[in-house]
Structure 1
Amino acid sequence: MLTVQALIGSPRVLRFKSNGWLYKFTRIRLMMSEESEKTLTMPLKRVEEGNGDSGENGHIRKKLKSDVEDTGDERKHPKRKVVLLLAYSGKGYYGMQRNAGSSQFKTIEDELVTALIKSGCIPDNHGDDMKKMSFQRCARTDKGVSAAGQVVSLKLWMIEDLMEKINSNLPTQIRVLGLKRVTGGFNSKNSCDARTYSYMLPTVAFAPKSYNTKNSTAFRLDPETLQRVNRLFASYKGTHNFHNFTSQKAARDPSARRYITEMSCSEPFVRSGTEFAEITVRGQSFMMHQIRKMIGLIIAVVKGYTGEEVLQRSWGEEKVDVPKAPGLGLVLEKVHFDRYNKRFGGDGLHECLEWTEEEQAIMAFKEAHIYPSIVETECLEDSMVNWMATLPIHDFEATATGAQVKDRGQDDDEEGNGSDSAL
């Protein structure tokens, strides 16, 4: 039993510590006359240091940093805004974006969220509502489309061995290859200045339409045809009206104008006895199916189904029937954050969102998972050859002069910002 002398005066907190326990009480001002002052005797309940709740008789329990580890995970580890560099093979998945409440169509984000929960870097309830962790992706890749440089931003508990624990809970065809801290207001979708995609295809796609595709593995692309292909792809550079290269976009819709900075086809190479080439395209943003239609139209021109003038007509207001190349072979290679890097990359607090140190791991993943999947599937299913058989049914002449009607029920592009949703 301790005694406290109640005195008239300003309240004042008194502390007493004994044997590792903290005692706290307040010097009390009593509303009474001097004649009625007396000594009060009150029991004090000892409380364990570090507990922030109030105890009996109003005694306050003190919270100390040393006791944080006695609480839940949210107090063990700080929560920070980060970006994750993702690489994945899209085969067998219905695209990147998660469809909440639908387990029938598994996506890349389904696997990622499950791994984050199992790793202990987000609470269980964040899996049901990804907004709780401020999750955002740079681009929504379509069914079967792969990525070597997808970037997502989110808030995570910074647990030890974070990347290793996430990857241990992911299938081998999905990997986290990099992690960096970013500013609290960073949004990977809105902060992305440009996106680079590649498209790997068998070179028989550029064979004359009279070529016998039953012998497609024997075809080899000649230098003159490759030169023409690159000249045609280069015509896409600059700003054009791509309303004919997506669906449900009005010809005079300002959002149909897109800026392309690069598009070219590589030198051919042989894999599994078939000659392939890789097309690279970089732009500020792309609409649904835009890249596949850009490639499909050039293939139609090179094969002789239509003339080169179709490109100019396709950028006008007339409706032009533009064929869409198969989704197999499309890969999100890289996303670019030039403005963010210029503003924050050199401030001494944040890193540039460049992944030069991860380039070797990115290439190793592509060689192990992405390229073999594309080559094996193409050789097994002949997706390009089967698609080429549909080219004669397309009418490349203008079929209408009015603007296309836009369906209000469909987003213009990825979540309204102009990046790919289903390329």
Structure 2
Amino acid sequence: MMKWMNSFIKGVSRISGLVPVKVIKETTQIKDSRKIQAIKRRGNIRSRSEFTPRVDESGNPLPKSERRPKKKVACMIGYCGTGYNGMQIQNNLDVKTIEGDLFQAFVKAGAISPENADDLKKNGFMRAARTDKGVHAAGNVISCKLIIEDEDILEKINKELPDQIRVWGIERTNKSFDCRKMCSSRVYEYLLPTYSFLSPKPKTVLSELVKKDKADHPGIVRDDAEGDKWWAETSQAILDSGISQDDVNKAQAILESTNNFDNENSEINKEDTKLYNENGEITETGRLIKSIKQIENKRRRSYSVSKERLELFREAMKQYEGSHNFHNFTLGKLYKDPSARRYMKLTTVSDPFVIEGTEWVSIKIHGQSFMLHQIRKMISMAVLVIRTGCPISRIQDCFGPTKINIPKAPALGLLLENPVYEGYNGMLEKFGYNKIEFEPYKEEIDKFKMKFIYDKIYGEEVKENVFYGFFGFVDTFKGNIESKEGKHIFDFLGAVFESGISKDNNKVVEANKEDQDDAPAKPQDNVD
């Protein structure tokens, strides 16, 4: 009888389109269970059995707070990433992140109720762009649900935050707003000391390759009278300090050997390259190299780029504008991968400005989206084209099928300027909401950048000589022409380049040959 009834109910259900209540309940329970298990695996919430009620110091349950309405909002924020392990909050709460401090400030200021204080998902947390460890942002956006009835909520939130994190403004949005998906483009800034444009140091590996190219292909590689003069004057300043030419040659050989211990033909003993002995005392070798570096650094700090060289760099950066295949400017991307194609809307290079005796330029790149390391490799490639004198059009060759191993410029100069919501702002206005933009906070942001971001970058460069170290390493690097990442950058920067052809052995190089150990990179919102 029961079987007949079940069959009858199912038959009626199929005809009428109705689903029995029991079936609905069972289906719902299965879906809810699967959803909860999936979320638990991501570490976002606890199960009901694991939930611990809020209690006071005596262990007595705390009463529930007054229920107040939450609104979907866009928070415009800025931060100095120094001392933080990136933007995104981690499952390990001991790891210090920007989002972690922001979330706690929201709770303390009353923008998030105590009941929701242990769960980002309940509050719909999402960031427009993820930044990695130590990377700064003058402007970024997070979307979430906040209690914003209090007119002073913005002031209260900032009061709970450290000075290096600021919330510029909070704007209401519609419920479907997702700050990452709705973002139409992003603007990044890169600060670069202009001495980075100087030609390679004479007698280094890269300098000798440039010299050979000039002799073999006259008229193709640009002459660099400015760089030749600067290095001649610097060499004379070193000799005038009492350091002999033999000692200068010795120091250069040691530096090249230090960068290339895998070079079997190195004539330098590793013991001779030690800058400090076992007691931590500086060696004669260390004193020699330190003295030469101090003289070179002093002259670098006083370097001023010429108008002609700066215009060449601007022209090089313009090569990136438009839609191109940037597979060579990230990791794990094949030439045929559609996701490697990115659109750069605009690149600008500021006039030089001097901070604490060193001349800098600000480079801004406005692009639709970016991949991991893309901006750092774009900067590096453009600077190397200027330093080596190879044709500016060589940058266009990077978009072709040949795999090129482009070094990453230092992360130090990189910061997120702001996300852009051109398309979505029009929709917001139709709904009666304000635009999501940073222009109203420009004065505050500029002051913050100077105090908490620019000063950090300038200070670290003066202390650590980051850019000098990077380009000095590139100049003295020796290695195989073909590496597992692709064609060697020196071979690519030569006067003559043929796609897929290695000049040294006239052997066709298989484009996009991937190393077995390299796993394809996942899509990234960050670029560091």
Structure 1 contact 192–336 (Cα < 8 Å) conserved: yes
CA drift of 1:306 comes to 5.3
| Letter in structure 1 aligned against 2:346 | E
Identify which of 455, 469, 475 aligns with 1:386.
469
Give distance in 2, aligned partners of 1:324 and 1:409. 19
Number of equivalences: 345
Give the RMSD, CA atoms, in angstroms: 2.2
| Letter in structure 2 aligned against 1:143 | K
Give distance in 2, aligned partners of 1:232 and 1:145. 25
TM-score w.r.t. the length of structure 1 is 0.77
Give distance in 1, aligned partners of 2:461 and 2:117. 35
Q: Deviations over 1:350-384 (max 9, x none)?
A: 11112332111111211221111111111111111
Closer, same or farther: CA 311–344 of 1 in aligned 2, 3 Å = same
Q: Which residue is 1:365 aligned to?
A: 448
Q: Deviations over 1:30-77 (max 9, x none)?
A: xxxxxxxxxxxxxxxxxxxxxxxxxxxxxxxxxxxxxxxxx85452x3
Q: Which residue is 1:402 aligned to?
A: 511
Closer, same or farther: CA 201–155 of 1 in aligned 2, 3 Å = same
Greater percentage in strand: 1
| Letter in structure 1 aligned against 2:433 | H
Q: Which residue is 1:147 aligned to?
A: 137
Q: Which residue is 1:50 aligned to?
A: none
Would you say 1:85 and 2:194 are equivalent positions?
no
Q: Deviations over 1:384-411 (max 9, x none)?
A: 1111112233722367433254989665
Q: Which residue is 1:244 aligned to?
A: 328
Higher relative contact order, structure no. (Cα contacts within 8 Å, ≥ 6 residues apart): 2
Identify which of 262, 267, 274 aligns with 2:346.
262
Identify which of 169, 177, 184 aligns with 2:160.
169
Identify which of 112, 133, 136 aligns with 2:102.
112
Structure 1 contact 248–404 (Cα < 8 Å) conserved: no
| Letter in structure 2 aligned against 1:268 | P
Q: Deviations over 1:214-257 (max 9, x none)?
A: 22101101100010000010010001100110011122110000
Q: Which residue is 1:12 aligned to?
A: none
Would you say 1:138 and 2:128 are equivalent positions?
yes
Give distance in 1, aligned partners of 2:146 and 2:361. 40
Give distance in 1, aligned partners of 2:117 and 2:194. 43
Q: Deviations over 1:285-335 (max 9, x none)?
A: 000010010001111111117553532221111110111111112111121
**Kindly, what percent of the aligned residue pairs are identical?**
37
Would you say 1:315 and 2:424 are equivalent positions?
no
Give distance in 2, aligned partners of 1:100 and 1:252. 36
CA drift of 1:125 comes to 6.1
Secondary structure class of the residue paired with 2:137 = strand
Structure 2 contact 331–520 (Cα < 8 Å) conserved: no
TM-score w.r.t. the length of structure 2 is 0.62
Matches within 5 A, 1:18-417: 72-73=64-65, 75=67, 77-103=68-94, 105-124=95-114, 126=116, 128-160=118-150, 161-210=152-201, 211=231, 213-214=296-297, 215-304=299-388, 307-347=391-431, 349-392=432-475, 393=477, 395-396=488-489, 397=492, 400-405=509-514, 411-414=521-524
Secondary structure class of the residue paired with 2:412 = coil
Closer, same or farther: CA 216–80 of 1 in aligned 2, 3 Å = same
| Letter in structure 1 aligned against 2:323 | T
* The 10-residue stretch of structure 1 (246-255 or 391-400) with the greater mean CA deviation from structure 2: 391-400
Structure 1 contact 146–370 (Cα < 8 Å) conserved: yes
Q: Deviations over 1:107-154 (max 9, x none)?
A: 211211221222222245645442221111110112221111111100
Secondary structure class of the residue paired with 1:361 = helix
Which blocks of at least 5 consecutive residues in structure 1 are unaligned? 1-70
